[in-house]
Structure 1
Amino acid sequence: MDSKVEKAVLREGGFRSKLKGLGSLSNKDMLVRADKVDLKRLDIQLDQQLNKVWAKGKPVKPNETWEIDVAKLEIRYEVARGTYGTVYRGVYDGQDVAVKLLDWGGDGYSTEAETAALRASFQKEVAVWHELDHPNVTKFIGGSMGTSELKIPQKSSSGNGSTSVPTQACCVIVEYLPGGTLKNYLIKNIRKKLAYKTVINLALDLARGLSYLHSKKVVHRDVKTENMLLDGQRNLKIADFGVARVEAQNPKDMTGETGTLGYMAPEVLDGKPYNRKCDVYSFGICLWEIYCCDMPYPNLSFAEVSSAVVRQNLRPDIPRCCPSALANIMRRCWDPSPDKRPEMDEVVRLLEAIDTCKGGGMIPQEQGSTRCFCFFPALGP
């Protein structure tokens, strides 16, 4: 037998043996002239048949509408590292972005069930964030539930090489805002303070953003100046919405290290049920911080703050130089009773009605002592 024909017969016999188990051929069909065999066609048919068999019971899940194309993302350098993840500067599809990686499951703390629950919650809340569109809410660009293909710098912008992301990591991509956090902006102005008009503009941006979120049935639950970002024109945008709620469930969460106790409503601190009014309380604290460019409760420990806020109605000291219209908004927002706190849309209207033409800003430290002389103690809200 010609060697080429012999090889063809052997290959045909191999394909027949593979296809026999599929039940598509009879015994009569097994007798075929080797020189009439179309091997290329058989290769294609075999691949198609096997793919159908292997695919049974394993449907391919379509990507979510918010999932990114990993190939379009370039992560350039680390910006910040926190308890729950790391933030990087990057470019996605030609746009400057901030990339936050949340690593669940690979830390040795989370069980498989806990990790699955966290990822399911993340997926649900990111889907909500994807639908939001407001000038005072950081624009969500996309995310990914499986980021193992990403390459990230090892340390910083000057570092060499890259490292792979753990397979359990989740990735969130948002617009990059060059102004940094509101917290850092206030720290930079701790001595000279902010003009009253700037205070009201920042407060209005935050109030409008929260009012929008609440209108969409979204509760931020981690309102603080660290979670507010500024663009190049000093417009404020709310960040870390939604994801903050998922993060709070992380077993590594140590409340004393998060720095958010000073913003927490008493009902939250006391473990009671709460709703969107917890954001209103936190807004009141942020409003005080924006006006004063200072930290509330600087001399108290986290444990002391938690206890005093719940049991003694502790609130930040309002300066005597603070206009009564603004001071009244603060007091109403941090009322111990959630029902007595205003809705955020009402807060927007109250702030819009304030006249900033006559001044009223905080007195700079250069004109007073090392700590503003116009503070006076507030015994309660």
Structure 2
Amino acid sequence: MAETKQSQSYIRADKMDLTSLDLQLEKQYAKSYNKDNKDNKDNKEKAATTTTSSKDQEQDHEDHEERAPWQIDPRKLDIRYLIAHGTYGTVYRGTYHTRDVAVKILDWGEDGYATEAETAQLRASFKHEVAVWHQLHHPNVTNFVGASMGTTDLRLPDNTSTGTGRSTNLPARACCVLVEYLQGGTLKQYLIKNSRRKLPYKLVVQLALDLSRGLSYLHSRKIVHRDVKSENMLLDTQRNLKIADFGVARVEAQNPKDMTGATGTLGYMAPEVLEGKPYNRKCDVYSFGICLWEIYCCDMPYPDLSFADVSSKVVHQNLRPEIPRCCPTAMANIMKKCWDANPEKRPDMEEVVRLLESLDTSKGGGMIPEDQNTGCLCFFRARGP
């Protein structure tokens, strides 16, 4: 019985086909070896993909963490050519994500007048306020695309070469702002173009309404523009007006004493701003009144006065642009209300919108053109102050 079990447990070697067994083992080994290699390769590729994906996710996470919603990716900005030099910076035309944009480089503190501390404070305020601009959406306000707090990654067209080169000569403390690009040019350019034949009354009111609605919206969001003028208003190809250039705009302070300083453009600046007194959003209302006169007359205020004379006479002699006799009374009254010397007597922009909407444009022909001014004294310069 024991012999039977033992015979069942062992196999006689002389009965085995060793050659066939070697071939089978070799095939099995090769198969196993190839499978292990394939599994190892797949695992390595998977591990590499996972690592790369993890790095990409980490980088995206870092970019997301470091970059605010309003911050642009400078690598995707192509600055093409110079448009204009402004008071607070330089404007270029470019593309961002294939979108046409106006690029403004704000070079605060690079003029030698601002201290390090003042520039730092201005940049900190700017950083807070662009977060507010990012949320602005209105048909009469230029769309804010984004901003950058530095210029190290920006490349400007090299105007000294053939145009193919790129310059990196940018102020170290500059900030960059991107807004939509409008092909109609500035309101000032349009008014100069029509200075002889003037604008139809209906178009005057339409442009004024666009501007007033945009300002009313900004004021409702506690934004004071502080540099309202025809040069800072842009037109699209359909002559729709949009407020632009927020280079000196700021969130309105709860305490008017926190908003002081002569900020703006002479000729449009309210008396309280010229005097360095505390001011609020009503300084924009004053500037709007000057712009309204400018739109109606297609002329520039105070063309024959020096800067010093304008500043002194606006404050001390209540100097204002002369309203033409052909100007409808209702329109003239809006101008006068807006540029009242007392900020508290000026209407809010919301009220100005209502006043403009109530104007009858069915009869008015607008300012009388210069070649048709027979019997009208609108174009004769007043003598004296």
User: Which TM-score bucket, shorter chain as reference?
Assistant: 0.7 to 0.9
Deviates more, 1:78-87 or 1:324-333: 78-87
Corresponding residue of 2:323: 318
2: CA distance between counterparts of 1:187 and 1:281?
A: 22
Please tell me the root mean square deviation across aligned C-alpha atoms, in Å.
2.8
Corresponding residue of 1:272: 277
Corresponding residue of 1:244: 248
Contact 1:321–1:360 (Cα < 8 Å) also in 2: no
Query: Residue 312 and residue 142 in structure 1: after superposition, are their counterparts in 2 closer, same or farther (change >3 A)?
Result: same
Aligned length: 313
1:273 aligned partner, one-letter code = P
In the alignment, structure 2 segments of 5+ residues that lack a partner are: 1-63, 251-261
Deviates more, 1:154-163 or 1:292-301: 154-163
Query: Residue 379 and residue 325 in structure 1: after superposition, are their counterparts in 2 closer, same or farther (change >3 A)?
Result: farther
Bigger Rg, structure 1 or 2: 2
1:79 aligned partner, one-letter code = I
Q: Which of 131, 149, 152 is matched with 2:153 structurally?
A: 149
Query: Residue 350 and residue 375 in structure 1: after superposition, are their counterparts in 2 closer, same or farther (change >3 A)?
Result: farther
Contact 2:370–2:379 (Cα < 8 Å) also in 1: no
What are the Cα deviations for residues 24-43 of structure 1, in whole angstroms up to 9, with x where unaligned? xxxxxxxxxxxxxxxxxxxx
Query: Residue 111 and residue 341 in structure 1: after superposition, are their counterparts in 2 closer, same or farther (change >3 A)?
Result: closer
Q: How does 1:70-89 map to 2 (within 5 A)?
A: 70-89=74-93
Q: Which of 354, 367, 374 is matched with 2:372 structurally?
A: 367
2: CA distance between counterparts of 1:306 and 1:293?
A: 22
Query: Residue 166 and residue 291 in structure 1: after superposition, are their counterparts in 2 closer, same or farther (change >3 A)?
Result: same
* Secondary structure class of the residue paired with 2:368: coil
Q: How does 1:68-217 map to 2 (within 5 A)?
A: 68-155=72-159, 159-164=163-168, 165-217=170-222
> What is the percent sequence identity of the aligned residues?
70
Contact 1:318–1:375 (Cα < 8 Å) also in 2: no
1:329 aligned partner, one-letter code = I
- Runs of 4+ in structure 1 over 6 Å off: none
The alignment status of 1:344 with 2:357, answered yes or no, reads no
* Secondary structure class of the residue paired with 1:96: strand
Deviates more, 1:198-207 or 1:60-69: 60-69
* Secondary structure class of the residue paired with 1:244: coil
1: CA distance between counterparts of 2:282 and 2:275?
A: 15
Q: CA deviation at 1:167?
A: 3.3
Q: CA deviation at 1:70?
A: 1.2
What are the Cα deviations for residues 242-267 of structure 1, in whole angstroms up to 9, with x where unaligned? x2247xxxxxxxx8xx9821111111
2: CA distance between counterparts of 1:349 and 1:157?
A: 53
Corresponding residue of 1:218: 223
The alignment status of 1:282 with 2:287, answered yes or no, reads yes
2: CA distance between counterparts of 1:348 and 1:156?
A: 47
Deviates more, 1:146-155 or 1:199-208: 146-155
1:290 aligned partner, one-letter code = I
1: CA distance between counterparts of 2:190 and 2:93?
A: 19
1: CA distance between counterparts of 2:195 and 2:71?
A: 41
Query: Residue 68 and residue 287 in structure 1: after superposition, are their counterparts in 2 closer, same or farther (change >3 A)?
Result: same
2: CA distance between counterparts of 1:182 and 1:293?
A: 10
* Secondary structure class of the residue paired with 1:89: strand
1: CA distance between counterparts of 2:284 and 2:323?
A: 20
Deviates more, 1:140-149 or 1:199-208: 140-149
Q: CA deviation at 1:359?
A: 2.1
